[in-house]
Structure 1
C-alpha cells in the first residue's frame, strides 16, 4: 500500500507539472493567435513525437520528454538577408538559426510573423507564459490559505506541562525537584480556550505566546472559556533562557560560535493545531514571498550547485532547501503521499509543492537571457528603445533587431541549463533530499 501511495504521489506531481507546462504554453498561444501570428505547433515535451493532431493551421501534441514545452510561431526574427556559406562554428550556428527561422515564414504570410508585431504585443505574448504560472501559483496558494487554511496554533489549550525542565535537557519526565510549570500552578487545563491575557483579547496562540515571552516573573490575569463559562486565572510566567532564532527559525550564534540566548517568559502549555482560514489576499502574499525566495536562490545558484556537487561526491549532507530537479520534486511528492498522516495534511503539502513549482517556473523564465522568455522580452524592449530613439532624432525606423546574432550566447546558456539539470537529476537519483530524514 505504501508503494502504491508513493507512486500515486509521483503521478500527481507529474500531472500537475504537465498541467503547469501546458498552461504556460497556452499563455503564449492565446495572445499570439489573438494578435494574428501564425502558430505552427503547440507541443508539451521535447524529443520524439508521441501523439499529435492538427486543428486548423496549428499542430497540437505531446513529445517523449516532459521537461518543458513550446509553441512554434512564424518569424520569431526578421528573415535573413545574408547569402553564401557560413564559416566558423558561431557563424554556422547563426546561419542555421536564420535558416530555421526563415522556414517558419509561410509564403505570402510574412505579415503574420511575430517580429512584425508592435513591441507591446511581443512583450505580451512572451509574458503570457510566465504570468500564467504566476496566476496558477497564486490560485493554488489562495486555495491553501483561504480555502483549506494554514496550520497554526489555535486559542484552545492542548496540553499543560507539569513542571519546568532545564533548557537543553534531554529529560522527559518530571521529578520531585523540578519546579511546577506556571500554567499548571495557575489551574489552566487542556480544553480551555484563551479569551484574554492581561486585558488583551487573544485571537491566535501567537498573540498569547508574545505576551507571555515579554512578561517573565510578572503576574498576568488570564481569562479562559471552560465548558461555556469564563474563568479568570492568575498566571506568572517564569524567566527561562532560550536560544535566539531568526525569522526562519534557525538558531543564532555569536562571533565565538556560542549560541545567543535571551531571557523570556515561560508558562508551560501548548495549543491545539488546526487549519485556520486566512484573508483572501494571503495566497497572493505567499506567492510573492515564494517568488522572492526563488529569486534569492537563483542569485546564489552557482554556490548552491557547487554544494550539490560536493554532497554528491562526498559524505556531506545536501541542503534540504536547495535546488531540485523534476525527479527530486517527484520523490518528495511520493514521500508525502506515502506518509502516515491525515489525507488533508498530505494534500496540503502536495499543493504547496505544486504552487512553489509554478512560482519557480515564473521566476526562472523571467531571467533576461535567451532562450528563456525573459530574453525574448529584453530583445523586444531593446527594439522598442531603438525605434523610440530614432523617432526622437527624426530618423527612419531602424530594421528589427536580429536576435539570431545572439545564438552563440543562447547556445552557451542552453548548455549551462542542460549541465545544471543533469547535475540535479543525478543528485536526486543517487543523493536525494528527504523531507523525513
Structure 2
C-alpha cells in the first residue's frame, strides 16, 4: 500500500510539473512580447499558496488538475468601444462577461500591453507556447526512455516452447491426449535458443520473426539457432496452421479478432533495447499516429465509459483515463512486483504520453482551448491580409469574444466527458495489465 501511495504522489508531482511547464510557455512568451500577466496559477479552486514577483502573482491552488495564466485584454472592446454589458440576451451576456473579465485588472498604462493589441503572429506564439512546452517535454522524456533507459521488447530468444498445438484462448501448459506436438517441440527447439535465421532470412527482431512464422502456414522451413551454450544448429520445422489472435501493423493483438496463420509454438523472451536516434524518431512518429487516432476515437468511447460506470461493465484496457485514473496507474506501477528499471520505464512512458496528449488536445481549434485562440489569430491575419491585397479598409482585430457561446458549449461537453471519465476512474478503474 505504501508503494502504491508513493507511486500516486510521484505521478501527481509529475503532473503538476507538466502543468506548470505548460503555463510557463504562455507566461514567458507573453512577457517577452510585453503583455501584462497578473496571475500564474497551477491548479484550480482555492489558493493554497501564492507570492508576488513584480507585477505577477504566482501560486498553487487546491485542485491539481489544470492551471492558467491571466493576461489582460484577451478580447478587443466591442464595436462601440465599450466593455460592459449592453444586452439582456443570454448569448450577448456570455460575450460581454468574457470581455469584461479580460479587463478586470486593467491599470493606467496598460492600453498598449493588452493581448489583443499584439500582432497575430505574436498571439499565435503565446498560445502555442503552452502546448509546445508539453510537446518539448514529451520528446525529451521519450528520447530519455528510448535512448537512455531503454525499452523492454520481445527478442528472438525463446523463453518457452509449447508442447502441443494450442488454439488462441486455450491453456498453453496443458495438452490433450490427442494433441499434436507443436512444430517447435517436434523440431527440438528449447528455451534459451536464439533464432538467427528463419527459412534463410536473417532475423533482426521478434516482430520480423513473428511475421515470417505467420506467413509460413503449411511450409517446411529450416531454422538457424544459437543454443545457450553457444553452439549453432539448423533445425527443420513444419509450420502448422492454427487459430491465432489477429495482430495490428505494430505486432499488438487486436481484441476479439482471430485469424488462421502459421504457428511454431514459442514464446519470446523479453530484453532491454536501447534505440538509436533514428529508431527513436520512428517510434515517436508511430506513437504520434496512435495519439491522433485515440483523440479521434474519443466520442466512440463514451458508451463504454457509461456502461462501465452505470452497469459495472468490464472496462476496456484502451478506455480513456483522466488524471485520477492516470494517478492510480502510477500507483499500480510502483506497487507491482517489477524490477525498478521496468517501473521507471513504464512511469516515464506514461508521463511522456500524457504530455503528448496534452499537446494534441490543446491544439484542437476550439475555444476555450489554446488552439481556438490560435485559430482566431490566424483568421484575423488572413482577413487583414486579404483586405490589404484587395485595398479595402483594415477590418481590425477579430473579436474572439463573439465565439464565447460556442466556447461555453464546448466547455460544457468537456466537463461532462471529464466527469464521466472521473467517475469511471473511481468506480471501475483501468488496472495495470
Aligned to 1:362: 359
* Cα distance in 2, alignment partners of residues 17 and 168 from structure 1: 38
Aligned to 2:209: 208
Pair 1:102–1:239, CA change in 2 (3 A): same
Aligned to 2:253: 249
Given that 1:291 and 1:363 are in contact with CA atoms closer than 8 Å, whether structure 2 keeps it comes out as no
1:122 equivalenced with 2:120 (yes/no): no
Given that 2:198 and 2:223 are in contact with CA atoms closer than 8 Å, whether structure 1 keeps it comes out as yes
1:226-271 deviation line (CA, Å, top 9, x unaligned): 4665423232233222235140412566xxxxxx54241x333333
Pair 1:198–1:415, CA change in 2 (3 A): closer
When structure 1 is superposed on structure 2, of 37-46 and 149-158 the one drifting more is 149-158
Partner SS, residue 35 of structure 2 = coil
1:165-213 deviation line (CA, Å, top 9, x unaligned): 4666547345775444433443434333333334322222333333333
Given that 1:150 and 1:276 are in contact with CA atoms closer than 8 Å, whether structure 2 keeps it comes out as yes
When structure 1 is superposed on structure 2, of 226-235 and 319-328 the one drifting more is 226-235
Aligned to 2:52: 54
When structure 1 is superposed on structure 2, of 123-132 and 325-334 the one drifting more is 325-334
* Cα distance in 1, alignment partners of residues 153 and 91 from structure 2: 57
TM-score normalised by length of structure 2? 0.90
Q: Which runs of 5+ in 2 are unaligned?
A: none
Candidates 374, 377, 382, aligned match of 2:374: 377
* Cα distance in 1, alignment partners of residues 420 and 85 from structure 2: 40
Aligned to 1:15: 13
1:224 equivalenced with 2:225 (yes/no): yes
Candidates 313, 320, 332, aligned match of 1:316: 313
- Structure 1 segment 66-105 matched on structure 2, within 5 A: 66-80=64-78, 81-82=81-82, 85-105=86-106
Aligned to 1:256: none
1:146 equivalenced with 2:143 (yes/no): no
- Structure 1 segment 245-284 matched on structure 2, within 5 A: 245-247=246-248, 248-250=252-254, 261-264=259-262, 266-284=263-281
TM-score normalised by length of structure 1? 0.89
Q: Which runs of 5+ in 1 are unaligned?
A: 254-259
Given that 1:143 and 1:283 are in contact with CA atoms closer than 8 Å, whether structure 2 keeps it comes out as no
* Cα distance in 2, alignment partners of residues 434 and 167 from structure 1: 23
Displacement of 1:122: 0.9
Displacement of 1:320: 2.4
Aligned to 1:24: 22
Given that 2:162 and 2:172 are in contact with CA atoms closer than 8 Å, whether structure 1 keeps it comes out as no
